[in-house]
Structure 1
Amino acid sequence: MNNISIIEGDLTKANVDAIVNAANPKMLGGGGVDGAIHQAAGPGLRKECFKVEPVNGIRCPVGEARITSAGHLPSKYVIHTVGPVYKQVANPRKLLESAYLNSLRLAIENHCQTVAFPAISCGVYGYPHQEAAEVALGVCSRDEFKELQIYFYLIGNQMVEIWSGAKNNMNADRNLG
């Protein structure tokens, strides 16, 4: 897990190949991380999102990912993914895993070497932070992603402590096994 870093900071300032947007299914901006990314990227990001063809008004179903250019952000791409609303789905863990998995695979397909994530679904979508950290780090630590440098940009000391603790626990478990 040496390729995974946890940072307290502003995702929109991450100097990486791709930042991941915790988007809503319409991909046209919203609150939280999504709103901050759209605001920092400028109107070009919204124009890029409009190029993604909607199906019944949905540009990105829950658990899937889409990629666009990044507007005025320092990254080359924005990978939009939709995490689950924790209490509204039968298997939120599977959908959250899918959101991370599809985002990382899209990064690799587009020749990214560095990618920065927020804590997907941990805001208004209500995902328990400890479980979300375990899911995210579990996916990101898979062998297929070991060549990527992965950064988690988190807001607040408490989130950093939760994610750092989950990473340390996973490292300890691996060292025992």
Structure 2
Amino acid sequence: MVAHKFTVDLNKPLVFQVGHLGESYQEWVHQPIVSKEGPRFFDSDFWEFLTRTAWWAIPTIWLPVVCWCISMSVRMGHTLPQTALMVAFGIFLWTFVEYVLHRFLFHIETKSYWGNTIHYLLHGCHHKHPMDGLRLVFPPAAAAILCIPVCYFTSILVHILHDDAS
């Protein structure tokens, strides 16, 4: 009996297909399809919309957040040098976190259905469709969802550090 090798139908939404590639996923995802228009990820227009982000949305959304955080820091009584140091540390920390994510999570080798599916959503689509201009940056809706546990963890850490300092 000969096993049938799964092939991805590029005319159908891709996300729930790529998991079926199994061990073939790594080879498939690293053979780029160079076209200006990216593939459809989901059947649902709602979920599809959430995966597409124009580059200019990132500064439009995040610069006001950064400015608000800086203004809150000043209102809390931090001096300009302290605030500048916190901003510089934040830039360093974000750069480091993004490097670690890219190096160790985004390039992990997967073989399972859900591993392949999640990898494709997080970073594999960037390798498969490098010219897709609407999937070059992480979608703000997903970032907002991820901010909840990060903010929670940060508030706990600040609380612990504040109690230790008292």
Q: TM-score, normalised by structure 2?
A: 0.26
Which structure has the larger Rg over C-alpha atoms?
Answer: 2
Q: TM-score, normalised by structure 1?
A: 0.25
User: Greater share of strand residues, 1 or 2?
Assistant: 1
